[in-house]
Structure 1
Amino acid sequence: MAQDPWETVVSTLSSQMDVAPTQFFATFSRFEWAFGQEGEDYTFTPPKPGINWSKVGQAFGGKFFQLVKADHVASRIISDPPQMIENVAGVGLRFQATAPTCGDASAVFHALARIRNNLFHGWKVGLEADDRQHIADGNAVLRIAYDYCENHPKLHTVAHHLIYV
């Protein structure tokens, strides 16, 4: 069997991607990068790499959480947070029986990270209704987070990093 050229593979995958997940991946990954550009304020203690979503949530605080809670679409991430994937020996990947609660800004950012992880590591049969709902919720939260950053004295540089390298 002949293998398709790389350009055909990329073109096919690109044409099959929905706009909403593409928007979520692009903006969430850029948020991750932007928080990393802020030095060690939002990262794990070295040598562990990555963004510490608890620190991010603490920086955003209760006012941000209230903005998410007040938004019709974004608030669904609080009332119906995404479940966590676990790798069970002998069974493989599955969702934990109960989704974590989402009661503060840190939990909201952890929920966004779970949406990303579920899409990257979950089943690839297709986007199920639950996945589509969480992506819509996540995109709404990211919009609120961007607006919040833009108007915050310390977080405005995060908003700047979203567009400018």
Structure 2
Amino acid sequence: MTQDSWEIVAATLSAQMDAAPIQFFATFSRFEWAFGQEGDSFSLKPPSPGISWDKVGQAFGGKFYQLVRADVEASRIIADPPKAIENLAGLGFRFNATPPHCGDASAVFHALARIRNNFFHGWKTGLEADDRQHIADGNAVLRITYEFCNNHPKHQIVSHHLMYV
């Protein structure tokens, strides 16, 4: 049995990917990187790598949360937040039965991280309707996040990091 070349595999997988997930992953991962460029402002306590979504949410606060609530697309992440994936011993990955409550800015950022985790670690048979909706919701929240950063004197550097190294 002959195997396809890596180029064919990569091109096939890329052609099968919808534009919305590509947009979500490109912008979400860049936001993670941009938050990390701000030293300890948004990162987990050393030596743990990663972003503290609680710190991000606290820095963005109630005004950001109200912007998300006021947006028709983005507000769906509050009304219907993504469920968390759990690793059940002997059964593999499954979605938790109840999604976490999404009642503040920190919860919104945790929901974005769950969208990413669910898509990366969840089922790969295709984008289910729920995945598609959460990715669309996430893209709307990322748009609001960019606009919020871009118009906020303290967080403008984050929006700058999205485009410039």
Tell me the TM-score normalized by structure 1. Answer: 0.99
Match of 1:17 in 2: 17
Match of 1:97 in 2: 97
State the secondary structure of the residue aligned to 1:94. strand
Number of equivalences? 165
**Deviations 1:77-126 (Å, cap 9, x if unpaired)?**
00000000000001110011100000000000000000000000001011
Once the 2 structures are TM-superposed, how far is the Cα of residue 153 of structure 1 from its aligned partner? 1.1
Q: Percent same amino acid at aligned positions? A: 75
- Write out aligned runs for 1:137-152 (5 A): 137-152=137-152
- Write out aligned runs for 1:1-165 (5 A): 1-165=1-165
Any stretches of 5+ residues in structure 1 without a counterpart? none
RMSD, aligned CA? 0.5
Question: Partner letter of residue 78 of structure 2?
Answer: I
State the secondary structure of the residue aligned to 2:62. helix
Q: Which runs of 4+ in 1 moved over 4 A?
A: none
State the secondary structure of the residue aligned to 2:40. helix
Question: Partner letter of residue 117 of structure 1?
Answer: N
Tell me the TM-score normalized by structure 2. Answer: 0.99
